[in-house]
Structure 1
Amino acid sequence: MPTIAIETTIESGSNDPGQTDMGHSCNSIDEPVTAESPFVSWTVESMEKTIHTFYQKNCNIMWGVIYVILLATYFAYFGYALYWRVGDEGSVRLIVCTVVGALFVTYRLVVKYGQCPNLELFSKNRQQRENLLNWIHVAAAISVTLAVFIYVIITVAINTPRNMVSLGGMVFFILTFYIFSTHPSKVKIRPVFWGLAIQFVFALVILRWEVGFRVFSWLGDRVSELLSYSNAGAQFVFGDQFAHHFFAFKVLSVVMYFSAAIAILYHIGVMQFIVRNIARFMAGVLGTSAAESLNAAVNIFLGPNGAALMIEPFLADMTKSELHAVMTGGFATIAGGVMAAYILIGVSANHLLSASVMSAPAALAMSKLFYPETERHESNEEDVYRYEKSDSDNVLDVATRGAAMSVKVATSTAANLIAFISLLAFVNATLQWFGERVGLENPPLTFQLMCSYVFWPLAYLMGVDRQDCFKVGELIGIKTFINEFVAYTDLSVYIDNVKNITWYKGLRNSTNLTRGFESQMHAGKLEIQDDSVFLYDLNITLEKGIMTDRSIVISTYALCGFSNIGSMGIMLGTLGALAPSRKGDLATVVLRAMIAGNVACFMTACIAVPPTHRVQPIVDVLYDFL
């Protein structure tokens, strides 16, 4: 999503001709104020010119004083707030927001008033500098490899040997991509190695380090809290019973609200600050071009359409490998608005956040392995990282346009779900009819059943528990051939069932739930019937059954991407419209990019396998009842 430009027109006769709706300017006056009396007109015009001349000369000082006063007021409030109450979650939130805000303001001041150092002496020894950087990369790569090897042996192989299956899955995906690469001899080790290394480090920080796990859990809770405010708007428009139509009125309302919030963040420069620095980091470490690195960074927040718009001026001159990397990054991630919808249907917010972050470097790594660079294209990095500032300071107009743009996303999501779920029902009915003709009735032949067998090996290689491999394979097939929204909707059923089983166990342990049912043989018990769980006490059937927490976590990461057959058409339509001269090249690489995006998600799932001490084996809970 590009910065939203809004034109502000000042009509003649305005009381404040030099100021926009929200902000300040130092423009000159084009037309004087007129009045019926010549004396009054001359007096008002003289006063206006005097005031405006004074403001023009001193506007920077005046606004600087105002900003200093506001800053001092805030820090006074900040100090008193910590003095009044400290130690709770609210104080942590206040400190984090203050630190982030201070860093952002400092960055903006440096960009506005700072000067780049003279690099003339440094540029004279460019070859020496490149040689030094190459040696640094080699030394760092060797050090990281040894550290990862030692960590895997000590922490994984000894403590959680079951996770070695996921490591074998990663090796399988890498070797397969290398064998089927367009130019195996041209594969460069640097982007592949460092892309996977960064992904591994992110996994350690987010999932294995207790502090990082708590930080991302806290961020996930804050995102969920932020999304909950969409209920106010949905309730006002659709009434108190809006949640009864959960998807139409609640989920799509979150998409609109979140899109407006993202538009405001882009308008004030927060998103540019985050995206630009992530892109610079990946380009510097992986050695990828500025454009494809920027695309990967933007995909974390906006998805493929917004990321494509950010690099539109450079698409026409990109190499095929860069176009492949751009498309792979789009397939391997999801947009922020869609992520908000997944959170709302019950998928873990912190896992979705970490999946988006971890899949960005993985997408570049797998893309450069599957379609290595064979051409040379030089581009000016500063042109790539430069963003045009919005012409308007009116935040309300920006929010309005962001909400209006989200209507297309919301209606497209609803239309796709209606179409694909209906088509899936038709396909299943047809397959079931054919299956009945040859005796395949229990279980009936369905599209999901076929996918569960086809993708069972992939689920096992990612580390899914054996008893859940068919279910996860079914989810992968739905995500690949239909879309990830339908797959996450099915996954949410397992998540809800696990919550209900856990609640049921706690209820039976805390109360005499079976009182009055002593004469019944199955009182206080549950029974598995065709993968469904029947609770006799409550006369409730949990359809589809349950999966272990381990399998649910792996599925969450494996499904977190736009890589499906339908998205190929969307990707070709979007990029083809932005770069018409490259439609042929885009069509050539789109299938490979979709496969690479899918495998990037699978690599993230392999790395994100939870350690044993974080997993609560829900199957054991089920066995307790039986």
Structure 2
Amino acid sequence: MSALQLQALAGLPLLCLLAWLCGGCRRGVRPRVVVAGLLGQLLVAALLLHVPVLRAGFAAVGDGVEALARATRAGTSLVFGYLGGAPLPFTETAAGASFILFFQALPLVLVVGALSAVLYHWRILPLVVDGLARGLRRLFGLSGACNLSVAANVFVGMVEAPLLIRPWLGRLTRAELFVTMVAGLATISGNMLVVYATMIAPVVPDAAGQLLTASLISAPGAILAALLMLPERETPVTVAAEGAAPRLHDSTMDAIVTGTADGLQLLLGIMASLIVFVALVALLNGMLEPLTGLTLQRIGAWVFWPLAFAMGIPAEDCATVARLLGVKVVVNEFVSYLELAGSGGAGLAERSRIILAFALCGFTNFGSVGIMMTGMAAMCPERRAEIVRLGLPSLVAASIACCMAGATVGVLTSP
């Protein structure tokens, strides 16, 4: 094992310690949770990254993502012409200048949204989610509803997953509610996974498989970070939720129409949030820099430098990795992945790019916290105050969980 791998191996317990120190309850952490969380992440990552059959499956996932991208490009080319990827009617003066994010990358959200709805209607997605939920219950001993929501977050968003357990949401213990929120922020939805994999494919090998692995190992990582910050002290009562995913669509065609409409809403939300948050960060930087010489990204780079080092990143790459982690929290992971695919990842070693891709794989930003709190409070208004109080702590725990995912792959990836 190399020095950098040992660095990441030492970083995992240090990240656990950080989560414990950030929590308000220092007693009641069960050793089973720590052991299950750490071994669960390492075992899942080792299987998915180093077993040849599963690696071959990753290649198939990557081919599927490319097929989706090509199919989407056929639709955008028809609707938007050269703006959507059709041949240019003029000569491109700079490489990549014709790429327009909204018309060429983001429409993938629509296609994957419709496909996800169909897979849910055909009961394929609920079957996979239920299997993951049962595995999490054996590892951590949490209730069925909480496990179902955490497992669903591997495939759907931070609001859609709690929606699957809406009848049980009010009966979750405080710790389980926190776990549900942290898992929503520490993972990404399937449609965004496809978009990000397409974006970073030129700089991260097997990008789709890497991000799928990241989302899978972030599930036990999210539970671990959450229960270190807020240990379980009550008796879970919502065991019955496993296997109880409700039917949402009347037919396959209804699933396609509904999934497309949901994807459109998400697409417009992404566009709006990108414009607003990038503008707000630019505005704040415009006020900070003349007065202090600092920017939000530079402050984030300082804060996340130790976490980047704990993930097994070499010292010469830590500043760049920490800066992109800061951008992820201040703006969102979309902008960080854009920078990783562009000039931001140009000077990084391949191992550092892979670790960073894992650490960025989560909705850990202030905008997502607001979206999640609004959605969950609407589903469970009687616990609105509690959800709001747990909002910012859930962002901290989810950020640590994403760094645990990075450290895990750092342990298993040699320089």
Pairwise same-fold verdict (TM > 0.5) = yes
- The 8 Å contact of residues 110 and 263 in structure 2, kept in 1 or not, is answered as yes
Q: Provide structure 2 residue ranges, at least 5 long, that are not aligned to the other structure.
A: 86-97, 202-206
1:189 alignment partner in structure 2? 31
1:361 alignment partner in structure 2? 220
1:468 alignment partner in structure 2? 317
After superposition, residues 101-180 of structure 1 pair within 5 angstroms as 156=1, 160-180=2-22
1:236 alignment partner in structure 2? 78
2:363 alignment partner in structure 1? 562
Matched, 1:216 2:216: no
Tell me the CA shift for residue 217 of structure 1.
3.3
Q: Give the residue type in structure 1 aligned to 2:246.
A: E
2-side partners of 1:379 and 1:479: how far apart?
Answer: 34
Q: TM-score normalized by structure 1? A: 0.61
1:414 alignment partner in structure 2? 271
1:324 alignment partner in structure 2? 178
Q: 301, 304, 319: which one pairs with 1:452?
A: 301
1-side partners of 2:278 and 2:77: how far apart?
Answer: 27
Tell me the CA shift for residue 344 of structure 1.
2.4
1-side partners of 2:299 and 2:145: how far apart?
Answer: 40
1:487 alignment partner in structure 2? 336
Tell me the CA shift for residue 425 of structure 1.
2.1
Tell me the CA shift for residue 463 of structure 1.
1.0
> Secondary structure at the residue paired with 1:217?
helix
2-side partners of 1:353 and 1:215: how far apart?
Answer: 11
Matched, 1:375 2:375: no
After superposition, the Cα gap between the structure-2 partners of 1:461 and 1:285, relative to the gap in structure 1 and judged at 3 Å, is closer
Flag as ranges the 4+ runs of structure 1 deviating above 6 A.
none
Tell me the CA shift for residue 245 of structure 1.
5.0
2-side partners of 1:188 and 1:165: how far apart?
Answer: 26
Tell me the CA shift for residue 494 of structure 1.
4.2
Structure 1 residues 585-594 or 575-584, which shifts more?
585-594
Tell me the CA shift for residue 385 of structure 1.
2.3
Q: Give the residue type in structure 1 aligned to 2:362.
A: G
RMSD of Structure 2 on Structure 1 (CA): 1.9
> Secondary structure at the residue paired with 1:207?
helix
After superposition, the Cα gap between the structure-2 partners of 1:354 and 1:612, relative to the gap in structure 1 and judged at 3 Å, is closer
After superposition, the Cα gap between the structure-2 partners of 1:612 and 1:176, relative to the gap in structure 1 and judged at 3 Å, is closer
Instruction: Give CA deviations for 1:46-91 in whole Å, capped at 9, x if unaligned.
Output: xxxxxxxxxxxxxxxxxxxxxxxxxxxxxxxxxxxxxxxxxxxxxx
1:101 alignment partner in structure 2? none
Structure 1 residues 424-433 or 328-337, which shifts more?
424-433
2-side partners of 1:418 and 1:391: how far apart?
Answer: 33
Rg bigger for which structure? 1
Percent of aligned pairs with the same residue? Answer: 32
2:189 alignment partner in structure 1? 335
Tell me the CA shift for residue 611 of structure 1.
5.5
Q: TM-score normalized by structure 2? A: 0.91
Aligned length: 398
Matched, 1:302 2:163: no
Instruction: Give CA deviations for 1:496-521 in whole Å, capped at 9, x if unaligned.
Output: 74xxxxxxxxxxxxxxxxxxxxxxxx
- The 8 Å contact of residues 249 and 255 in structure 2, kept in 1 or not, is answered as no
Q: 370, 385, 397: which one pairs with 2:243?
A: 385
2-side partners of 1:185 and 1:296: how far apart?
Answer: 24
Tell me the CA shift for residue 470 of structure 1.
0.8
1-side partners of 2:384 and 2:7: how far apart?
Answer: 40
Instruction: Give CA deviations for 1:285-343 in whole Å, capped at 9, x if unaligned.
Output: 32111111101110000021110110111111111101100001001001111112212
Instruction: Give CA deviations for 1:556-587 in whole Å, capped at 9, x if unaligned.
Output: 11111111122221111010000000011112
Tell me the CA shift for residue 237 of structure 1.
1.2
2:94 alignment partner in structure 1? none
